């Protein structure tokens, strides 16, 4: 790849391949991590598990009525072992864990936390953001007035030394983290890194790990890592209230009509329950009862997740095969090979991610905007692209991945030629 004429011929080849792909006039979209219709169909029976004359829980709660801020105990008992938390410290809520995140952060800003009743909003407030990360975490926190501080991630998790340095500032109130199959890299934090985060000194007495376990159950392979018991790790480290855990069934049952979960240390759960009691006279218990009857027990959830894996693992494999075949031999890019979750991260040469996204759009492949994986939409290296293969059909994913490869090749050789 060294001589100029060699480079020119590779650029010509890449350009021809791109034009050929673009000329097909396809319309493909691998932008958002949504479940495919076939995955939503897996939970079709959810909608008929509750009927008008059968609305009581096993412990006798009439789910139609007000009350029960914590959510149905029987459903919490199913999900507690899966999320590695005690059922007594797990709350079940409405359809979106993002709402729980918004509420918990808003309560902290207005009223302080279970550890320190000084409202975060009274002074400057900042959050650590491992990058690349989840765009909605960043936009939510920014909208609540947090300053966002990026810290690097590697394949074990966030850079704890970088986090610790920044946490010497008492305005740093916490850190986002997607511990399992992170959005967008798919990496899972190691036990060692989680322990370090639990123990990490921080100037704010209520420094909080915003432990968003959105993909806790979303394994692609039979052989998979296990969830960490972060509450115990934090308690052992003398920070029993440090972790706020979020999860939901959005990508287990129906993305728009699932059940969300919140867990934390004992005082945090009391704090959250008391605050939630002022917001609502209880969650949608009918939907919680639907979920309880649909799953029956924890093994039912795990069996259901294996059906999801059967649908989406081939889509991940299709992307990885296309990347390997199209980019593997030239050293033009690197990518993650997740064992679960919803995303693959592609790292291009510096400075071309936005060009790849633009070329792809012009060739009929919609990609998540470059920069979306970073606070304020700014990827300093302009090299990260998030691939979300679940929503389109397998054929569409294969095509989109071929198109993406053509765009990366073209943008890379353009850059190499430009010197
Ligand atoms: N957290 C992460 C890391 C996600 O990727 C998503 C969905 N893309 C969510 C939260 C949203 O969860 P919910 O539907 O429960 O609000």
The predicted-structure confidence for 148-193, as pLDDT tens digits, reads as follows: 999 999 999 999 999 999 999 999 999 999 999 999 999 999 999 9
Q: Which atom of ligand 1 is nearest to the CA of 33?
A: 8
**Torsion, CA 343, CA 349, CA 355, CA 356, rounded to 10:** -40
Q: Is the CB of 400 under 6 A from ligand 1?
A: no
The predicted-structure confidence for 366-387, as pLDDT tens digits, reads as follows: 999 999 999 999 999 999 999 9
Return the closest-CA partner of residue 106 out of 222, 272, 248.
272
Q: Look up the ipTM and state it.
A: 0.99
The predicted-structure confidence for 315-368, as pLDDT tens digits, reads as follows: 999 999 999 999 998 889 999 999 999 999 999 999 999 999 999 999 999 999
Q: How does the average pLDDT of the chain come out, rounded?
A: 97
Measured by CA distance, the residue closest to atom 4 of ligand 1 is: 214
The predicted-structure confidence for 118-156, as pLDDT tens digits, reads as follows: 999 999 999 999 999 999 999 999 999 999 999 999 999
Residue 175 alpha carbon to ligand 1 centre in Å: 16
Cα 383 from Cα 352, distance rounded (Å): 6
The two three-digit tokens of residue 245, written as one number: 């855990």
* pLDDT of 2 higher than 80: no
Q: Is the CB of 245 under 6 A from ligand 1?
A: no
DSSP 389: -
* pLDDT of 18 higher than 80: yes
Cα 415 from Cα 351, distance rounded (Å): 9
The predicted-structure confidence for 220-251, as pLDDT tens digits, reads as follows: 999 999 999 999 999 999 999 999 999 999 99
Residue 97 alpha carbon to ligand 1 centre in Å: 7
Identify which of 131, 214, 215 to mutate to test ligand 1's pocket (most ligand atoms within 8 A of the CB): 214
Instruction: Give the CATH number of domain 4-30+302-418.
Output: 3.90.1150.10
Q: Is the CB of 352 under 6 A from ligand 1?
A: no
The two three-digit tokens of residue 66, written as one number: 């007000």
Q: Is the CB of 182 under 6 A from ligand 1?
A: no
Percent of the chain that is helix, strand, coil (3-state, to 5): 45, 15, 40
With b for 16 or more beta-carbon neighbours within 10 A and e for fewer, the 65-98 pattern comes to eeebbbbbbbbbbbbbebbbbbbebbbbbbbbbb
Read off the pLDDT band of 114 (50, 70, 90): very high
Q: Measure Cα distances from 363 to 75, 290, 352 in Å.
A: 46, 43, 16
What integer pLDDT is reported at residue 195 of this predicted model? Answer: 98
Q: 235 and 108 in contact (C-beta within 8 Å)?
A: no
Measured in whole angstroms, the distance separating CA 409 from the mean position of its chain's CA atoms is: 28
Paired with 56 in beta bridges are: 62
Q: Is the CB of 214 under 6 A from ligand 1?
A: yes
Q: Is the CB of 89 under 6 A from ligand 1?
A: no
Measured by CA distance, the residue closest to atom 10 of ligand 1 is: 214
Return the closest-CA partner of residue 199 out of 238, 227, 244.
238
Taking residues 9-21, what's their average pLDDT? 96
Cα 32 from Cα 90, distance rounded (Å): 28
Q: Which atom of ligand 1 is nearest to the CA of 251?
A: 14
Q: Is the CB of 212 under 6 A from ligand 1?
A: yes
Residue 214 alpha carbon to ligand 1 centre in Å: 6
Q: Is the CB of 95 under 6 A from ligand 1?
A: no
* pLDDT of 1 higher than 90: no
Q: Is the CB of 183 under 6 A from ligand 1?
A: yes
Q: Which atom of ligand 1 is nearest to the CA of 343?
A: 5
The two three-digit tokens of residue 267, written as one number: 């005082």
Q: Is the CB of 178 under 6 A from ligand 1?
A: yes
Domain range list for the chain:
4-30+302-418, 55-296
Residue 343 alpha carbon to ligand 1 centre in Å: 12
The pLDDT > 70 percentage for the chain reads 100
DSSP 200: -
What integer pLDDT is reported at residue 4 of this predicted model? Answer: 84
Measured by CA distance, the residue closest to atom 5 of ligand 1 is: 183
DSSP 56: B
* pLDDT of 3 higher than 90: no
Residue 98 alpha carbon to ligand 1 centre in Å: 6
Q: Which CATH class is domain 55-296?
A: alpha beta
Return the closest-CA partner of residue 229 out of 175, 189, 200.
189
Taking residues 109-122, what's their average pLDDT? 98
Residue 253 alpha carbon to ligand 1 centre in Å: 13
Cα 192 from Cα 207, distance rounded (Å): 19
Q: Is the CB of 33 under 6 A from ligand 1?
A: yes
State the first-to-last Cα distance of the chain, in angstroms, to the nearest integer.
13
Identify which of 40, 132, 139, 183 to mutate to test ligand 1's pocket (most ligand atoms within 8 A of the CB): 183
What integer pLDDT is reported at residue 399 of this predicted model? Answer: 96
């Amino acid at each position: 790849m060294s001589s100029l004429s060699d480079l020119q011929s590779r650029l010509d080849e890449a350009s021809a391949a791109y034009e050929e792909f673009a000329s097909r006039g396809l319309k493909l979209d691998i932008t958002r991590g949504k479940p495919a219709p076939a995955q939503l169909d897996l939970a079709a029976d959810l909608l008929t598990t509750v009927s008008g004359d059968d609305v009581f829980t096993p412990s006798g709660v009439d789910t139609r009525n007000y009350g029960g801020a914590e959510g149905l105990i029987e459903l919490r008992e199913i999900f507690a072992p899966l999320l590695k938390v005690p059922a007594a410290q797990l709350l079940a809520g409405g359809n979106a864990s993002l709402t729980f995140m918004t509420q918990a952060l808003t309560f902290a800003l207005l009223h302080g936390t279970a550890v320190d009743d000084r409202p975060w909003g009274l002074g400057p407030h900042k959050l650590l953001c491992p990058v690349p990360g989840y765009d909605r975490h960043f936009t939510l926190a920014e909208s609540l007035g947090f300053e966002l501080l990026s810290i690097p991630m590697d394949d074990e998790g966030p850079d704890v030394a970088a986090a610790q340095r920044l946490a010497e500032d008492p305005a740093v109130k916490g850190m986002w983290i997607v511990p399992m199959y992170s959005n967008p890299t798919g990496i899972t934090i190691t036990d060692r890194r989680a322990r370090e985060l639990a123990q990490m000194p921080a100037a704010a007495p209520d420094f909080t790990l915003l432990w968003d376990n959105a993909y806790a159950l979303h394994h692609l392979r039979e052989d998979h890592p296990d969830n960490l018991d972060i509450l115990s790790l934090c308690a052992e480290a003398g920070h029993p209230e440090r972790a706020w855990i979020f999860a939901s069934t959005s990508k287990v049952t129906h993305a728009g009509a699932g059940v969300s979960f919140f867990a934390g240390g004992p005082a945090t759960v009391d704090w959250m329950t008391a605050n939630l009691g002022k917001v609502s006279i209880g969650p949608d218990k009918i939907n919680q009862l639907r979920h309880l009857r649909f799953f029956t027990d924890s093994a039912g959830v795990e069996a259901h997740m294996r059906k999801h894996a059967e649908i989406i693992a081939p889509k991940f494999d299709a992307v990885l095969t296309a990347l390997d075949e199209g980019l593997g031999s030239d050293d033009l890019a690197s990518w993650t090979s997740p064992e679960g979750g919803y995303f693959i991260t592609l790292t291009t040469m510096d400075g071309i991610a936005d060009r790849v996204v633009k070329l792809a759009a012009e060739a009929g492949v919609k990609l998540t905007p470059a920069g979306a994986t970073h606070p304020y939409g700014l990827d300093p290296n302009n090299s990260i692209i998030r691939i979300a293969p679940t929503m389109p059909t397998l054929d569409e994913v294969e095509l989109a991945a071929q198109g993406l490869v053509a765009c990366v090749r073209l943008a890379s050789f353009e850059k190499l030629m430009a010197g």
